[in-house]
Structure 1
């Protein structure tokens, strides 16, 4: 559906050449929600604007639904953009127009007649849950309601792709959840491909089928969202995931422990099985949960547990070997009194 090939975007400033996007290649499938996550300045918003040529790439190729956007004339590009909706962090609504007029603005620009324009705008307002706000003005709306108007406006021309640039960053957590729920609904009901830019890994966890992590203009990790949460390969990705799933144990608590401290991850169906309790009984060792959480990503469970294991050293080692064979990975947290603690994978 969307193919990005060796795309770069550079700027010239008084200090020299600034690289916004550096040789990025990505493929985004029809009907999926694809997240691009990174800290401020990572290049993610620049990459997004290159997808509809609001920023013209310096090098590379952007193909959407089989159309090479870089090869289009200005007139052809304007027409192609009608199939690419876009919403922003700042809403970008016209304050002097009513809600229904804001939604119909894109239709007016596309040459749609007044009666048809009003009918389509009203349909979209019903879709986003704002039928009762049609004749109000943006200043009368909450932040979440303004973003719903922006979404309705972006859908006016029946786009195949919806680009979301930090669409929830200005919203409180409850409103963010409602907007993400709406985007999920739109994705499923309309079959829309959604590309979502964010610096919040919680947003990726909630809505994205796949994602890419960016740093300094480059993609440093890409893949299925569940796999990335379960087994991150890049240090930056790990830092992002810790903002959602944090298993750090306070040093004061570690100093009180006397047994072997282990970090366990349970993926898929294993998260719902009594693996640990069975092993404790089998090896006659005791276990104390210091931290435990099960998250659901793409409706699949991912369990993270930190436990203290007590008992005969040989039995503890046998239990760790059994856990490693079952889970694929077990980490032993070794308490180092002088330098907090480090992690080492159990053999």
Structure 2
């Protein structure tokens, strides 16, 4: 659906050339929800704006639904953009127009008749749950309601792609959840390809099938969202994952515990099996859970537990070896003598 090949975007100032996007290649499949995550200045918003040529790339190729956008004339590009909806962090609504007029405006610009515009706008407001706000003005709406109007407007011309630039970063957590569920509903019911730019890994975890992590204009890691969470490879990705799955154990607790403290990551089927309880019985050792959580990413379980193991030293070592061969990751935080790690 969206093919980005060796795309770069640079800006020339009086003193230097600033690179916003640096040789990025991505393939985004039709009907998927794809997240691009990165810290401020990573280049993710510039990349998104290059996807519909709001920012013209310095080099590279952007193909959407088989059309090479870089090769189009200005008129052809305007027509192609009708199949690419876009929503922004700042909503970008016309404050002097009612909700239904804001949604209708995109249809009017496309030459749709008045009666058909009204019917389509009402249909979209029903889809986003704002039928009762049709004649309100943006100033009368909450932030979440304004974003729903923006989404309805972006869907007006039946786009095949929806680009979302930090669509939830200005919203509170509860409102963010409602907008994410709406985007999930739109993806499922309309089959839209959705590209979501964000600096919040929680957003990616919630709805994205696949994701890419950016730093300094480059994609440093890309893959299935579950795989990225289960085994992040780059240090920046690991920091992002920590914001969602943080299992930092206070030093004072480590000092108090006398046994071996181990952090275990359970993926796939192992997250649903009684791996630890079976192990404790087999080796006749005791386990004290210090921290634990199971998250569901794309409906697949991902568990992380921190446990103190006590008992015969030889049996504890045997248990650790068994864990090492069974689980995705085993890290010894403290064994009474040293700190080390065992990675699968």
Tell me the TM-score normalized by structure 2.
0.98
CA drift of 1:215 comes to 0.3
Counterpart of 2:244 in 1: which secondary structure? Answer: coil
> Which residue of the partner structure matches residue 14 of structure 2?
14
Distance 1:91 1:309 in 2: 52
Contact preservation (8 Å) 1:9, 1:57:
yes
How far apart are 1:335 and its partner, in Å? 6.8
Question: Which residue is equivalent to 1:52?
Answer: 52
Distance 1:206 1:179 in 2: 11
Partner of 2:311: 311
CA distance in 1, matches of 2:199, 2:329: 28
Q: Which residue of 1 aligns with 2:64?
A: 64
CA contact (8 A) 2:267 2:328 kept: no
Q: Describe the superposition over 1:98-135 as per-residue Cα deviations: whole angstroms up to 9, x where unpaired.
A: 00000011100001011100110000000000000000
Corresponding residue number in structure 2 for 1:271: 271
Q: Secondary structure at the match of 1:150?
A: helix
State the partner residue of 1:199. Answer: 199
| Pairing of 1:35-114 with structure 2 (within 5 A) | 35-114=35-114
**Cα gap change, 1:296/1:321 in structure 2, threshold over 3 Å: closer, same or farther?**
same
CA contact (8 A) 2:259 2:309 kept: yes
Q: Which secondary structure does the structure 1 equivalent of 2:145 belong to?
A: helix
Instruction: Give the superposition deviation at 1:325.
Output: 1.2
Give the Cα–Cα distance (whole angstroms) in 1 for the partners of residues 342 and 239 of structure 2.
Answer: 19
Tell me the residue number matched to 2:176.
Answer: 176
RMSD: 1.3
The gaps in structure 2 that reach 5 residues or longer are none
Q: 1:3 to 1:83 in 2, by over 3 A?
A: same
What's the CA shift for 1:342?
5.5
1:291 aligns with 2:291: yes
Q: Distance in 1 between matches of 2:98 and 2:174?
A: 25
Residues 177-220 of structure 1: CA distance to partner in whole angstroms, max 9, x if unpaired? 00000000000000000000000000000000000000000000
TM-score by length of 1: 0.97
Q: Is the 2:44–2:214 contact (alpha carbons within 8 Å) kept by the matching residues of 1?
A: yes
State whether residues 259 and 336 of structure 2, in contact with CA within 8 Å, keep that contact through their aligned partners in structure 1: no
Assess, with a 3 A threshold, how the Cα gap between structure 1 residues 308 and 154 changes in structure 2: closer, same or farther: same
Contact 2:324–2:342 at 8 Å: present in 1 too? no
Matched, 1:331 2:331: yes
User: In structure 2, what is the Cα distance between the partners aligned to 1:148 and 1:3?
Assistant: 28
CA drift of 1:336 comes to 9.1
In structure 2, C-alpha distance between the alignment counterparts of 1:141 and 1:221, rounded to whole Å:
38
1:329 Cα deviation from its structure 2 partner: 2.7
Is the alpha carbon distance of 1:71 and 1:343 closer, same or farther for their aligned partners in structure 2, counting shifts above 3 Å? farther
Q: Shift of the alpha carbon at 1:8?
A: 0.2
In 2, Cα distance between equivalents of 1:133 and 1:254: 55
Q: How much does 1:346 deviate?
A: 6.0
Aligned-residue offset at 1:29: 0.4
The number of residues matched between the two structures is: 344
> Structure 1 CA distance, aligned partners of 2:87 and 2:340?
42
**Pick from 334, 340, 344: which aligns with 2:341?**
344
Question: d(CA) in 2 for partners of 1:100 and 1:331?
Answer: 56
Tell me the SS of whatever aligns to 2:229.
helix
Q: Secondary structure at the match of 1:124?
A: helix
Indicate the SS of the match to 1:170.
coil
The C-alpha deviation readout for 1:120-157, integer Å capped at 9, x for no partner, is 00000000000000000000000000000000000000
Unaligned stretches of 5+ residues in structure 1: none
Measured in 2, the distance between the counterparts of 1:260 and 1:335 equals: 4
Hey, what's the Cα distance between the residues in 2 that align with 1:336 and 1:314? 14
Secondary structure of the corresponding residue to residue 9 of structure 2: strand
